[in-house]
């Protein structure tokens, strides 16, 4: 195999973002577009004139029956991911799925097992796994440069409630949750991925702010490496976007501040900025997935198990917020 033929399932804004990545990968060929919205398909053709002759389909079943593909990128409302992912795997396709993977941990376990049985790749498009600052920060943690990790605080603020009002993202039947399950899933994932730790317990407070789904969340999590992690996810913010992650270890501290990274190593009392030239090269999940299928890398940047881990923690946080109790994860 010297090229990978892709079905794009979901032609909305994020679907077009994945297309923008793939058209820059010489070995990637888009062979079909799937979306029930003719307007969404037309928007793709307008933005990417090179795809004007690519066939489009209102249903995934029709696309799978009529198009020869090697892989699928699923970028649809969250509640649809599991069924669509299973259909693609059963048709012999490798699957890259937008976050937060599938609805619920049981579905996550089921689809991971199906991919294993069929020998197909299954990954989640958590792009922080291929971004230079986070790769650098993960190496600091994994190499022991910061010592034993004791405390992590992760913060994300976004005008999510206002920006998603009236869309499927605030419809629980389609989104399967609110800000914690949407943009917030990136924050849960990146802490678990960077540390390699698993959550032992969570205490959560969540406010819907009058919306049908969760908007603001505060989580306190104990990790199995002995660290405490706090997550502050603010969907009612007035600003477009901000993300911070602070990591404190026995030998040093690292502070990620919305794209900039500051580090104080052992013996240093003040964190210093890390020049961007020291970061590993950044990539994107689509390019990584092509490399995976072609055998250039041995594992996806964000394997499906990352989605399972986030689903388990998210479910526990919802339970804690509902009961007012600490929830212990098995």
pLDDT surpasses 90 at 280: yes
Q: Which domains does the chain have, with CATH numbers?
A: 4-127 (3.40.50.720), 128-282+303-328 (3.30.360.10)
pLDDT at 268 (0 to 100): 95
Half-sphere exposure of 143 toward its Cβ, with a 13 Å CA cutoff? 10
pLDDT band at 1; cut points 50, 70, 90 = confident
The whole-model pTM stands at 0.94
Element containing residue 190 per DSSP (H, E): helix 183-195
Residue 135: what pLDDT? 98
Whether 84 and 59 have beta carbons less than 8 Å apart is answered as no
pLDDT of residue 173: 95
Cα 315 from Cα 321, distance rounded (Å)? 10
Helix (H, G, I), strand (E, B) or coil at 220: strand
The CA-CA-CA angle for residues 253, 256, 257, to 5°, reads 130
- pLDDT value, residue 310: 98
The rounded percent of the chain whose pLDDT value lies above 90 is 99
Average pLDDT over residues 186-212: 97
CA–CA separation, 169 and 78 (whole Å): 9
Q: What is the pLDDT at residue 143?
A: 97
Bridge partners of residue 95, in order along the sequence: 72, 122
Confidence check: pLDDT of 89 > 90: yes
Mean pLDDT taken over the chain: 97
- Which ranges constitute the DSSP H helices of 176-256? 183-195
| Residue 304 CA to its chain's centroid (Å) | 10
Length of the chain, please?
Answer: 330
Q: Predicted confidence band at 5 (pLDDT cuts at 50, 70, 90)? A: very high
């Amino acid at each position: 195999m010297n090229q990978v033929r892709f079905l794009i399932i979901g032609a909305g804004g994020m679907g077009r973002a994945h297309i923008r990545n793939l058209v820059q990968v010489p070995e990637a060929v888009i062979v079909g577009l799937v979306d029930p919205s003719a307007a969404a398909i037309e928007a793709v053709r307008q933005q990417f004139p090179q795809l004007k002759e690519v066939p489009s389909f209102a249903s995934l079943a029709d696309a799978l029956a009529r198009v020869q593909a090697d892989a699928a990128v699923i970028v649809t409302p969250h509640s649809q991911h599991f069924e669509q992912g299973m259909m693609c795997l059963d048709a012999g396709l490798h699957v890259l799925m937008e976050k937060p993977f599938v609805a619920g941990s049981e579905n996550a376990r089921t689809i991971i097992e199906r991919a294993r049985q069929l020998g197909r790749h299954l990954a989640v498009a958590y792009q922080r796994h291929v971004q230079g600052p986070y790769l650098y920060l993960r190496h600091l943690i994994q190499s022991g440069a910061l010592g034993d990790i004791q405390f992590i605080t992760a913060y994300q603020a976004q005008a999510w409630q206002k920006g998603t009002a009236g869309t499927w993202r605030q419809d629980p039947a389609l989104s399967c949750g609110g800000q914690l399950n949407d943009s917030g899933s990136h924050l849960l994932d990146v802490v678990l991925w960077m540390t390699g730790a698993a959550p032992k317990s969570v205490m959560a407070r969540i406010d819907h702010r009058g919306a049908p789904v969760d908007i603001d969340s505060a989580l306190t999590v104990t990790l199995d490496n002995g660290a405490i992690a706090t997550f502050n996810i603010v969907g009612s913010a007035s600003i477009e976007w901000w993300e911070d992650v602070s990591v404190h270890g026995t030998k040093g501290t690292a502070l990620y501040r919305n794209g900039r990274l500051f580090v104080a190593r052992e013996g240093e009392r003040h964190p210093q900025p890390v020049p961007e030239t020291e970061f590993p090269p950044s990539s994107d999940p689509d390019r990584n997935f092509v490399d995976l299928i072609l055998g250039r890398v041995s594992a996806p940047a964000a394997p499906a198990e990352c989605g399972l881990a986030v689903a388990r923690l998210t479910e526990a946080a919802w339970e804690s917020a509902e009961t007012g109790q600490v929830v212990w994860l098995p």
